[in-house]
């Protein structure tokens, strides 16, 4: 049985710089732009080169979609509808309702993030090294500054 990729759970991510380098490495041969057969062969070569370069440089990743609660999904729909209404009517009361719905949605997201972080902290185990990985992630360098020009002289 041939397994098919599940596009609902995976997404193909190309690597831009490697793709560019792969395309640059391809051989270019001049062709006669007035000859229909040469044009067709060049189009075929161009298409296959780009397809193989994309296949060689990209990779399949699992989608990292958030699993939001039904309450957050419902509030998002309400907020989006109120946004559309407030844009159409320009009524301050509608804009006020939209702002309230938006702030309520932000609070729901904040509570969900807090719960997620609390669950992650509760699941840390010093025996498997997850505590140290989390500490390294929290205290790691977030900004990588280039060396100063003065230090190079």
Q: Which domain holds residue 57?
A: 9-25+45-65
∠ CA 149-150-153, rounded to 5°: 95
Note whether residue 107 is domain-resident: yes
Mean pLDDT of the chain: 86
Note whether residue 79 is domain-resident: yes
Asked if residues 11 and 59 have their Cβ atoms less than 8 Å apart, the reply is no
Note whether residue 84 is domain-resident: yes
Regarding whether 123 and 93 lie in a shared domain, the answer is yes
Regarding whether 55 and 79 lie in a shared domain, the answer is no
Note whether residue 37 is domain-resident: no
Max mean pLDDT range (43-52, 99-108, 121-130, 132-141): 99-108
Note whether residue 151 is domain-resident: no
71-115 pLDDT per residue, tens: 999 999 999 999 999 999 999 999 999 999 999 999 999 999 999
Q: Is 27 helix (H, G, I), strand (E, B) or coil?
A: coil
Q: What is the mean pLDDT of residues 23-50?
A: 88
The pLDDT value recorded for residue 135 is 84
Residues comprising the chain, all counted:
153
Regarding whether 99 and 78 lie in a shared domain, the answer is yes
The pLDDT value recorded for residue 108 is 97
Note whether residue 141 is domain-resident: no
Regarding whether 58 and 101 lie in a shared domain, the answer is no
As a whole number of angstroms, the distance between CA 33 and CA 38 comes to 7
How many of the other CB atoms lie within 10 Å of CB of 88?
A: 9
pLDDT of residue 36 exceeding 50: yes
At which of 35, 65, 95 does a domain end? Answer: 65
């Amino acid at each position: 049985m041939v397994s098919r990729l599940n596009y609902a759970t995976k997404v193909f991510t190309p690597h831009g710089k490697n793709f560019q380098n792969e395309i640059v490495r391809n051989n270019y041969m001049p062709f006669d732009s007035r000859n229909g057969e040469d044009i067709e062969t060049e189009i075929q070569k161009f298409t296959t080169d780009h397809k193989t370069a994309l296949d060689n440089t990209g990779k399949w990743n699992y989608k990292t979609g958030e699993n939001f609660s039904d309450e957050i999904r419902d509030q998002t729909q309400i907020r989006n509808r109120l946004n559309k209404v407030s844009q159409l009517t320009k009524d301050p009361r509608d804009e006020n309702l939209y702002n309230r719905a938006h702030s309520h949605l932000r609070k729901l997201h904040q509570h969900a993030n807090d719960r997620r972080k609390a669950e992650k902290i509760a699941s840390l185990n010093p025996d498997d090294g997850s505590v140290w990985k989390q500490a390294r992630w929290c205290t790691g360098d977030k900004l990588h500054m280039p060396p100063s020009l003065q230090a190079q002289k």
